[in-house]
Amino acid sequence: MTVTTPPSSVRRGAARFLPILAWAPAYDPADRRGDLAAGLTVGAMLVPQAMAYALLAGLPPEIGLYAATVPVVLYALFGTSRQLAVGPVAIVSLLTATALSSVVEEGTADYLTAAALLALMVGVVHIVLGMGRLGFLVNFLSHSVLVGFTAAAAIIIGFSQAKHLLGITVERQDHFHETVREVIDNLGDVHGPTLALGLSALVLLLVLRRVAPRVPAALVVVVGSIVVSEVLDLEARGVKVVGDIPDSLPSFGLPDLDGSLIGTLATTALVITLVGFMESIAVAKVYARRHRYDVDPNQELVALGMANVGAGLFGGYPVTGGFSRTAVNDTAGARTPLASLITAGIVVATVAFLTPLFTSLPNAALGAIIITAVIGLVDVDEMRHIAAVKRSDLIGLGVAFVATLTLGIELGILVAVVASMLVVFARMSVPHSAVLGRVAGTTSYRNVSRFPEVETFDGVRIVRIDAALSFVNATHVKKLIRAHADELTDEPRALVIDFSGVNDIDATGVESFIEVLDELDERGVVLHLADVKGPVRDVFRRAGVWSRLEGRVHTNTNDAVSTIRGERPAPVDQRSLGIDER
Positions of CATH 3.30.750.24 in the chain? 433-564
pLDDT at 1: 41
- Global model pTM greater than 0.85: no
What's the pLDDT score for residue 174? 67
Type of residue numbered 549: L
User: Does residue 45 contact residue 219 with C-beta atoms inside 8 Å?
Assistant: yes
pLDDT of the residue at 7 = 55
* Alpha-carbon dihedral angle through residues 211, 216, 217, 223, given to the nearest 10 degrees: -140
Residue 445: what are its φ and ψ, rounded to 5°?
A: -120, 140
**Nearest alpha carbon to residue 512 among 541, 542, 540:** 540
Identify the residue with better confidence: 437 or 170. Answer: 437
When the pLDDT of each residue in the chain is averaged and rounded to a whole number, the result is 88
DSSP state of 286: H
pLDDT digits (tens, 9 = 90+) for 228-237: 999 999 999 9
Between CA 321 and CA 147 the distance in angstroms is 16
Supply the pLDDT for residue 242.
85
Taking only the tens place, the pLDDT of each residue in 491-515 is: 999 999 999 999 999 999 999 999 9
Identity of the amino acid at 406: T
Q: Examine the pLDDT at 209 and tell me if it is beyond 90.
A: no
Helix (H) or strand (E) holding 398: helix 393-407
Whether residue 121 is predicted with pLDDT greater than 70 in this model: the reply is yes
In whole angstroms, give the CA distance from residue 314 to residue 171: 29
With helix as H, strand as E and coil as C, how does 464-530 read? EECCCECCCCHHHHHHHHHHHHHCCCCCCCEEEEECCCCCCECHHHHHHHHHHHHHHHHHCCEEEEE
Return phi, psi of residue 233, to 5°. 50, 55
Among the ranges given (125-129, 351-355, 507-511), the one the predictor scored with the smallest mean pLDDT: 351-355
Residue 2 pLDDT: 45
pLDDT for res 3: 45
Report in angstroms the alpha-carbon separations of 238 from 84, 167, 567. Answer: 40, 9, 94
The residue with greater pLDDT, 2 or 88, is 88
Question: What are φ and ψ of residue 189, in 5° steps?
Answer: -100, 15
What DSSP designation does 357 have? G
Supply φ then ψ for residue 5, to 5 degrees.
-85, 130
DSSP H or E segment with residue 460? strand 460-465
Tell me the CA end-to-end span of the chain in Å, nearest whole number: 62
* Nearest alpha carbon to residue 50 among 109, 96, 93, 99: 93
Q: Is the pLDDT of residue 324 over 90?
A: no
pLDDT band at 465 (very low <50, low <70, confident <90, very high): very high
pLDDT exceeds 60 at position 4 = no
Mean per-residue pLDDT for 104-116?
A: 93
Please state, for a pLDDT cut of 70, what percent of the chain lies above it: 96
Average the pLDDT over 9-23 and give the result: 74
Residue 489 predicted with pLDDT over 50:
yes
- Which of 246, 366, 222, 287 shows the shortest CA–CA distance to 83? 287
User: Is residue 127 scored above 80 in pLDDT?
Assistant: yes
Report residue 427: phi and psi, to 5°: -65, -40
Domain 433-564 part of CATH 3.40.50.720: no
* 126 touches 302 (CB < 8 A): yes
Q: Is the previous residue joined to 492 through a cis bond, with omega within 30 degrees of 0?
A: yes
Spatial CA neighbour of 526 closest among 484, 582, 575? 484
